[in-house]
């Protein structure tokens, strides 16, 4: 039971950081990219396992490479080739499924929160805080970039560097989420709280606050609920998130 | 007079196609320069080159330590972007008094008796819910935060001012009188250019004319710039 409390707290931190990072991703209209991005982690995990190194490290390496790819495409093409990213990332999911050992596959796809020890949990909390702080530092520049690339360039903002820092943060957060909800669902932790918050927010401040609150809620409701029902944590957390989205959708103000 | 901007042999190519060819001119402090020319003449590209938004050959020399405010032509905000106008100003770390001054300068201040206060409707509204005219003024006000020495204004192709309101050009003119800032604008309305600007640059890939509007707007240069038949002078008589 003590373990459950600890895991819920760790999950809350990861979900909060994911939701914060995700709010910008939704504004950048990169939701689908964010979701597909998380699939890239699978081949990374498989390769790490076969080399006997930490699967999170493998996931993080794969995600970093993918993030650099997205960054390059974003920088060098006028029309963002979202379809291309979708194809490439689902292809890497297919390859990942083929090369992952069958015993590890389920855990990699849907996560296994029970395997998180105290040390790993503490490191996860610290990394979540650091990533959130980094995003907080560049958030104004990110928002100006969302509004108009011309405005941000005229403001002498180096939008390429800002985007790179942002995408690396997404990569780190997605790797943290994998332990909880797996590679298939970690994109949901990033995207859904933000989309739900956007439904009911009338200012940037309330958008960030509600997004983070929804992220935390889905962790602190979903994780204990999964224990009580003896069901896997990942899907229950994501379904909690989706229910929050549906409720906000019903309260959405007509524009 | 102090030089604000000096351009020497500016050439901009896109896809091996010259958009601007060997352009040179000098801009002095306190001038209002209008860049005119037909569609595709390279007007917006000129702005992008001098603000460093695009690559170019030649020299673009700004006076040192100059602050530049830029109002882009294309500006579309999603109506569901959760960002209030007030928050938009705070992105630039603007203080309330600065926001108030800037809104006052662009004619977006509400007068209640003797008290002037920023229009609450505008500050609390989402940026994407403002009307076209309001948004344009807000963007100008945003560019004014931090007191720029130069304001670059790229006019939208279609006018956004509502009839009866002070035109955006009257606003810019007042602003210039108040602050002495240098203004560079791209305009499609020759009549307005003649009324509000001190120097005109006629651009059609290369410099067609440069000088005060009353001198350079001759039938010959206008024909050269827009093709035969273009004229503005018949507008001014007998109204």
A36: CATH: 1.10.3470.10
pLDDT number for residue B184: 92
A241: tokens are 């998130």
pLDDT digits over A147-192, tens only? 988 888 888 888 889 999 999 999 999 899 888 888 888 889 999 9
CB B43, CB B34: distance < 8 Å: no
Q: How far is B83 from chain A (nearest CA, A)?
A: 5
pLDDT number for residue A254: 63
Residue A161 belongs to some domain of the structure = yes
Are both B203 and B232 inside the same structural domain? yes
Please state, for a pLDDT cut of 70, what percent of chain B lies above it.
85
Positive or negative, the CA dihedral A67, A71, A77, A78 is positive
Q: Mean pLDDT highest for which of A26-40, A61-75, A137-151, B159-173?
A: A137-151
B164 touches chain A (CB under 8 A): no
Nearest to B63 by CA among B185, B182, B201: B182
Pairing of the two strands B150-154 and B199-204: unpaired
Cβ <8 Å between A153 and B84: no
Q: Virtual CA dihedral for B126, B130, B136, B140, nearest 10 degrees?
A: -40
Spatial separation of the C-alpha atoms in residues B218 and B191, rounded to whole Å? 13
Residue ending a domain, choose from B148, B169, B195: B148
Are both B50 and B13 inside the same structural domain? yes
Residue B173 belongs to some domain of the structure = no
pLDDT at A59 over 70: yes
Q: How far is A139 from chain B (nearest CA, A)?
A: 9
pLDDT number for residue B113: 58
Residue B15 belongs to some domain of the structure = yes
Domain that holds residue A7: 2-186
B159: tokens are 């006018």
With beta carbons under 8 A apart, name residues in chain A contacting B138.
none
Q: Considering its fold, how many domains does chain B have in total?
A: 2
Are both B60 and B80 inside the same structural domain? no
pLDDT number for residue B171: 81
Count the neighbouring beta carbons within 10 Å of the beta carbon of residue A221.
Answer: 17
What angle, rounded to 10 degrees, do the helices at B168-179 and B132-144 form? 20
Cβ <8 Å between A154 and B92: no
Per-residue pLDDT of chain B (239 residues; tens, 9 = 90+): 788 899 999 999 888 888 888 889 999 988 999 998 888 888 888 988 988 888 899 999 998 888 888 888 777 888 889 999 999 999 998 998 899 888 888 888 765 556 666 666 788 899 988 888 888 889 999 999 988 999 998 876 555 555 545 677 888 888 888 888 999 988 877 777 888 888 999 888 888 888 888 888 777 777 777 776 555 544 444 44
pLDDT number for residue B235: 45
Mean pLDDT, residues A52-58:
87
pLDDT, mean over chain B: 82
Cβ <8 Å between B91 and A143: yes
Residue B56 belongs to some domain of the structure = yes
Contact map slice: B 67-86 vs A, CB within 8 A: 68, 70, 72, 74-75, 77, 79-84
With beta carbons under 8 A apart, name residues in chain A contacting B146.
none
pLDDT number for residue A80: 66
Q: In which band, very low, low, confident or very high, does the pLDDT at A9 lie, cut at 50, 70 and 90?
A: very high
Q: Which residue in chain A is spatially nearest to B79 when comparing CA positions?
A: A255
Are both B40 and B80 inside the same structural domain? no
Residue A47 belongs to some domain of the structure = yes
Question: Which of B68, B72, B127 shows the shortest C-beta gap to A150?
Answer: B72
Q: List alpha helices for chain B, DSSP H.
A: 43-50, 85-90, 96-105, 120-124, 132-144, 168-179, 190-196, 213-216, 219-226
Mean pLDDT, residues A220-230:
94
Cβ <8 Å between A140 and B80: no
pLDDT number for residue B228: 64
pLDDT at A204 over 80: yes
A79: tokens are 């029309």
B91 touches chain A (CB under 8 A): yes
pLDDT, mean over chain A: 89
Mean pLDDT, residues A197-215:
96
Q: How far is B113 from chain A (nearest CA, A)?
A: 30
pLDDT number for residue B237: 42
Residue B193 belongs to some domain of the structure = yes
Cβ <8 Å between B84 and A154: no
CB burial class (10 A; 0-12, 13-18, 19+) of residue B36?
A: buried
Q: Considering its fold, how many domains does chain A have in total?
A: 1
Nearest to A193 by CA among A12, A42, A67: A12
pLDDT at A27 over 50: yes
Cβ <8 Å between A154 and B77: no
pLDDT number for residue B223: 77
Q: How far is CA A101 from CA A96, A154, A254, in A?
A: 10, 51, 49
Are both B80 and B60 inside the same structural domain? no
Domain that holds residue B40: 1-66+150-155+179-239
């Amino acid at each position: 039971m003590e373990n459950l409390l600890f895991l819920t707290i760790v999950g809350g931190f990861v979900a909060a950081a994911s939701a914060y990072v995700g709010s910008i991703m939704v504004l950048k209209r990169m939701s689908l990219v964010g979701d597909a991005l998380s699939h890239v982690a699978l081949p990374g995990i498989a390769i790490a396992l076969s080399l006997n190194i930490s699967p999170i490290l493998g996931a993080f390496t794969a995600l970093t490479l993918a993030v650099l790819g997205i960054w390059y495409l974003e920088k060098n093409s006028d029309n963002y080739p979202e379809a291309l990213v979708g194809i490439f990332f689902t292809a890497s999911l297919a390859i990942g499924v083929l090369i992952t050992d069958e015993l590890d596959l389920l855990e990699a796809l849907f996560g296994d929160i029970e395997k998180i020890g105290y040390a790993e949990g503490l490191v996860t909390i610290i990394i979540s805080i650091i990533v959130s702080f980094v995003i907080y530092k560049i958030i104004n520049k990110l928002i100006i970039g969302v509004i108009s690339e011309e405005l941000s360039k005229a403001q002498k903002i180096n939008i390429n560097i800002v985007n790179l820092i942002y995408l690396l943060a997404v990569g780190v957060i997605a790797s943290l989420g994998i332990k909880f909800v797996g590679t298939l669902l970690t994109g949901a932790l990033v995207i859904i709280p933000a989309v739900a918050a956007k439904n009911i927010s009338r200012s940037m401040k309330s958008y960030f606050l509600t997004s983070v609150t929804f992220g935390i809620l889905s962790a602190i409701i979903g994780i204990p609920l999964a224990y009580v029902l003896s069901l896997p944590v990942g899907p229950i957390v994501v379904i909690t998130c989706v229910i929050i989205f549906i409720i906000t959708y019903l309260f959405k103000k007509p524009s | 007079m102090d030089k604000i901007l000096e351009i020497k042999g500016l050439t901009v190519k896109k896809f091996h196609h010259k958009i601007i060819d060997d352009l040179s001119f000098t801009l002095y402090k306190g001038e209002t320069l209008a860049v005119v020319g037909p569609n595709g003449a390279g007007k917006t590209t000129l702005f992008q080159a001098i603000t460093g938004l695009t690559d170019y050959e030649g020299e673009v020399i700004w006076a040192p330590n100059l602050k530049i405010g830029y109002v882009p032509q294309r500006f579309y905000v999603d109506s569901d972007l959760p960002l209030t106008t007030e928050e938009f100003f705070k992105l630039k770390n603007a203080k309330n008094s600065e926001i108030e001054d800037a809104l006052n300068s662009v004619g977006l201040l509400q007068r209640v008796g003797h008290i002037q206060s920023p229009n609450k409707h505008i500050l609390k509204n989402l940026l994407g819910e403002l009307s076209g005219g309001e948004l344009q003024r807000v963007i100008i006000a945003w560019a004014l935060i931090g007191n720029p020495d130069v304001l670059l204004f790229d006019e939208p192709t279609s006018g956004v001012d509502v009839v009866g309101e002070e035109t955006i050009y009257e606003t810019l003119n007042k602003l210039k009188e108040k602050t002495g800032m240098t203004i560079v604008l791209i305009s499609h309305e020759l009549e307005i250019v003649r009324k509000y600007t001190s120097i005109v640059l006629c651009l059609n890939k290369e410099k067609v004319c440069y000088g005060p509007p009353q001198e350079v707007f001759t039938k010959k240069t206008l024909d050269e710039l827009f093709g035969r038949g273009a004229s503005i002078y018949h507008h001014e008589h007998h109204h």
